[in-house]
Amino acid sequence: MTKSFSARSRAIEPFHVMALLARANQLQAAGHDVIHLEIGEPDFTTAEPIVQAGQAALANGNTRYTAARGLPELREAIAEFYAKRYAVNIDPERIMITPGGSGALLLTSALLVDPGKHWLMADPGYPCNRHFLRLIEGAAQLVPAGPQTRYQLTPELVDAHWTQDSVGALVASPANPTGTVLHRDELEALSRSLSTRGGHLVVDEIYHGLTYGLDAASVLEVDDEAFVLNSFSKYFGMTGWRLGWLVAPSEAIPELEKLAQNLYISAPTIAQHAALACFKPDAIEIFEARRTAFQQRRDFLLPALRALGFKVEVEPEGAFYLYADMSAFGGDAYAFCQHFIETEHVAFTPGLDFGRYRAGQHVRFAYTQSLPRLEEAVTRIARGLKTWRP
């Protein structure tokens, strides 16, 4: 008898880039020099003050569960961070510490979306967002968003796509894969648009801190009822520590705490103690230096790719990605990515991973490598374009 798995499991798509990554790793294991521009992980290791705080937590025996909401002192530190960076006063009781930003998304999805209901999301966007909704028997209403709206939702798009099954919208600022930022007035307009419909506004602010030429506004500056997802993975460089947070309205916290108790008990204790060091001046100095390095990488790679014939129609203001239209070269983006792995050993991500709207014409480059490696990547891409046959 053949055993079957759930329909929800079958409906959740894999990361298509993982097959490309597996091939890239095979080539690397065989001795080839592969340049990885496909994975959204900073190349910097965790900053030393955080490592030392984690080691101290281990030495002090801080290895037991915490409360489901997280360490009180960490929630207080995050609240102080909001006060300093955004001039927003957040009650620490409104903050949930979660296992990565993914934990925050899981809690928010489970709280707000009933089976058959959906959130509006920009297409292209981060794929796990829609997959989390499928997991809880909800759905994502993908809204085609092009360069005209900087790949972001707008009140006009909400008007056009809202249905009786809509319960809110999830937006990202800065966004993955496009790096675009929702400015304060745009967040305010979206908040008003959703409020008139009784809808929830959920904002992924995971790439806050990694912005260039501006400091991104938090939605909490304009909407105290919004749900905010954030993470220690990107700006704070703690990817493998699996730690994030959620800011929610006060009345939602008891329900969120109940969900957290049942879904994962608590976030990793050692990571929480280590994260306390993130807000100290010596750590912030390191993060800001890394932000400068990312901006230098963007400022090199963006014109270099445009010079090769890629169309990057909107200059990214944050994160560490370039979402590039490769249609000038012909063919399909996935095959295009395969070509460069096999011939030039440069790995980047096909647009298919980020949605459906013009996905076959786009690729994403992550500038998470050093400038010399990016320069070498551009040299190889230029050479590979000469041998590409659609």
Does CATH place domain 5-43+281-385 in 3.90.1150.10?
yes
- The Cα–Cα gap between 39 and 20 comes to 11
Chain centroid, CA 92 distance in Å = 24
What's residue 169's pLDDT? 98
Listed residue (332, 379, 377, 289) closest to 16, CA to CA: 332
- The Cα–Cα gap between 180 and 258 comes to 34
For 128, the 3-state DSSP assignment is: helix
Task: Pick the most confident of 118-122, 125-129, 352-356.
Answer: 118-122
pLDDT digits (tens, 9 = 90+) for 173-210: 999 999 999 999 999 999 999 999 999 999 999 999 99
Q: Give the pairing type, strands 166-172 and 118-123.
A: parallel
| Average of per-residue pLDDT across 143-159 | 97
What's residue 323's pLDDT? 98
| Average of per-residue pLDDT across 320-329 | 98
**Where do the H-state alpha helices sit in 227-275?**
253-263, 269-275
- The Cα–Cα gap between 139 and 284 comes to 38
What's residue 389's pLDDT? 95
**pLDDT exceeding 70 applies to what percent of the chain?**
99
> DSSP string of 174-202?
S-TTT-----HHHHHHHHHHHHTTT-EEE
Q: Is 352 exposed, middle or buried (0-12, 13-18, 19+ CB in 10 A)?
A: buried
Does CATH place domain 46-279 in 3.40.640.10?
yes
Instruction: Please name every residue paired with 35 in a beta bridge, in sequence order, or none if there are none.
Output: 346
Element spanning 349, H or E: strand 349-350
- How far is the CA of 157 from the CAs of 120, 122, 135, 325, in angstroms? 9, 9, 25, 22
Which tokens is 240 given? 């493998």
pTM of the model: 0.96
**pLDDT exceeding 90 applies to what percent of the chain?**
93
Instruction: Please name every residue paired with 323 in a beta bridge, in sequence order, or none if there are none.
Output: 364
Give 39's pLDDT tier (boundaries 50, 70, 90). Answer: confident
pLDDT digits (tens, 9 = 90+) for 87-109: 999 999 999 999 999 999 999 99
Which tokens is 39 given? 């994975």
pLDDT surpassing 70 at residue 249:
yes
What are the residues whose beta carbons fall under 8 Å from the beta carbon of 378, sequence distance 6 or more? 301, 304, 305, 308
pLDDT digits (tens, 9 = 90+) for 61-81: 999 999 999 999 999 999 999
Query: Comparing 143 with 13, which gets the higher pLDDT?
Result: 143
pLDDT digits (tens, 9 = 90+) for 215-241: 999 999 999 999 999 999 999 999 999
Average pLDDT value for the chain: 96
| Average of per-residue pLDDT across 158-187 | 98
Q: Is 279 exposed, middle or buried (0-12, 13-18, 19+ CB in 10 A)?
A: middle
pLDDT surpassing 90 at residue 86:
yes
Give 14's pLDDT tier (boundaries 50, 70, 90). Answer: confident
pLDDT surpassing 90 at residue 12:
no
Give 1's pLDDT tier (boundaries 50, 70, 90). Answer: low
What's residue 85's pLDDT? 96
What's residue 175's pLDDT? 98
What's residue 2's pLDDT? 64
Where do the structural domains in the chain lie, given as residue ranges? 5-43+281-385, 46-279
| Average of per-residue pLDDT across 342-356 | 95
Which tokens is 61 given? 């025996």
